[in-house]
Amino acid sequence: MEKKELPRELRDRHGRTVRYLRISVTDRCNLCCRYCRTQEVPFIAHEKILRFEEIEEVIRLAVNFGVHKLRFTGGEPFARKGFMDFLKKLRLRFPRLALKLTTNGTLLAPYLGDLKELDVSVNLSLDTLDREKFAAITRRDMLPLVTDNLQRMLELGIPLKINAVAVRGVNEADLPALASLAMEHPVDVRFIEFMPMGDESIWSGDSFWPAAQILEAARTHWRLEAVRDSAEAAAAGDARERGPARLWKLRTPDGRLSRGNFGLITSVSQSFCHSCNRLRLTADGHLRTCLFDDREYSIRDVLRNEGPEAVARIMAEAVADKPVGAEILAARHGPVARKRMSAIGG
């Protein structure tokens, strides 16, 4: 039988086109954040993890389909040996790709110069600036490592965003200190709504701190001036470039304007599924088209046994079926996904 021709782009039935691949390079993490992994869990065996050459092959296929932005996540990307060498290789092979990284910041010190040189932008996950609270959330006393690396990234001028997961009863009091980083430095500080991910998630109605209330809390400290609205951006067709955060400048009572922005990522209360352009690759070689949808498409063994064209077909078929996550979320009252975030990559 004649094979169907591959599409030129990764388009779904809702008219969205995938341009952004998020790659979890490992499920291993040196922290154990309570909202992400409720307990220390065994990590995936090495042979089940995609080799770097295999990830590179998936990237090549994605680029052929028009993907122009990659984000590396985990687990903790730098917990995987050889990760920086992999980034260097990728930069040589794909000089025009936007390379981004989501990290807890604890292991960055030896790599900061390289990140700058390779033009990698960094999303730093940081939920508090209080050392004891950091240790309580992450189960590790490592805040000084993170703040040192944050300082060095600012000095080096590495493009940087800070993401805090907003958990009621945990880090409400940390909003002023975290948002002040955007006041003083050219960084966006974004609060992400806590998502009910994973069977054993500690998520509950009580721990959920909705964006509307986070905004109210910020307004008790600053005047907020909207800089852009992702809904408007989507209407203008460029949400792809702007991402899902709604952003504000902060103004102090005496009129000083923030250098960076304060942001909210309303993954739960107000979805941005209509403009979602993402595809995820898990560390053990599964494609996932939506955080909230448990359907995954195994490509590791297909790549090993059948080759790249078969993987490209799975990619196209998987994306064609990409769901609208908000509909899945609305139909549930508990966790929306069986896997915890560390196994998907966030």
Interaction site with ligand SAM (CB under 6 A): 29, 35-36, 73-74, 76, 102-104, 125, 163, 165, 192, 194-195, 197, 341-342, 345-346
Q: Which amino acid is at 119?
A: D
Sign of CA dihedral 24, 49, 7, 14: negative
Closer to ligand SAM by Cβ: residue 260 or 311: 260
Let me know how many helices (H) and strands (E) the chain has, helices first: 13, 12
Residue 61 vs 104, nearer CB to ligand SAM: 104
Give the nearest distance from C-beta 180 to ligand SAM in angstroms.
20
The least CB distance from residue 193 to ligand SAM, in Å, is 7
Residue nearest to ligand SAM (CB): 346
Quick one: 106 or 261, whose CB is closer to ligand SAM?
Answer: 106
Q: What is the DSSP string of 100-167?
A: EEEE-STT-GGGHHHHHHTTEEEEEE---S-HHHHHHHHSS--HHHHHHHHHHHHHHT--EEEEEEEB
Closest to ligand SAM by CB, 151 or 252: 151
Among the listed residues 332, 301, 231, the one whose alpha carbon sits nearest the alpha carbon of residue 272: 231
- Closer by beta carbon to ligand SAM, 102 or else 261: 102
Q: How far is the CB of 136 from ligand SAM (least distance, A)?
A: 15
Nearer to ligand SAM, 125 or 277 (CB): 125
Minimum Å gap between C-beta 345 and ligand SAM is 6
Q: In what order do the strands lie in the sheet with 98-103?
A: 223-228, 246-251, 262-265, 188-193, 160-166, 120-125, 98-103, 69-73, 20-24, 278-281, 286-288, 296-298
Query: Which tokens belong to 250?
Result: 């902060």
Instruction: Tell me the pairing of strands 296-298 and 286-288.
Output: antiparallel
| 28 or 221: CB nearest ligand SAM | 28
Q: How far is the CB of 248 from ligand SAM (least distance, A)?
A: 20
Shortest spacing between CB 268 and ligand SAM, in angstroms: 9
What would the two tokens of residue 126 be?
A: 């940081």
Give one DSSP letter per residue of 166-233, joined into a string.
EBTTTSGGGHHHHHHHHHHSS-EEEEEEPP-BSTT----TTTB--HHHHHHHHHTTSEEEEEE-HHHH
CB of 8 to ligand SAM, least distance (A): 31
Instruction: Pick between residue 240 and residue 280 the one whose CB is nearest to ligand SAM.
Output: 280
Q: At what angle do helices 52-64 and 83-93 cross, to 10 degrees?
A: 30
CB of 1 to ligand SAM, least distance (A): 42
The residue among 165 and 311 lying less far from ligand SAM, judged by its C-beta, is 165
Alpha-carbon distance of 258 to 159, in angstroms, equals 17
Kindly state the smallest distance separating residue 126's Cβ from ligand SAM, in Å.
9
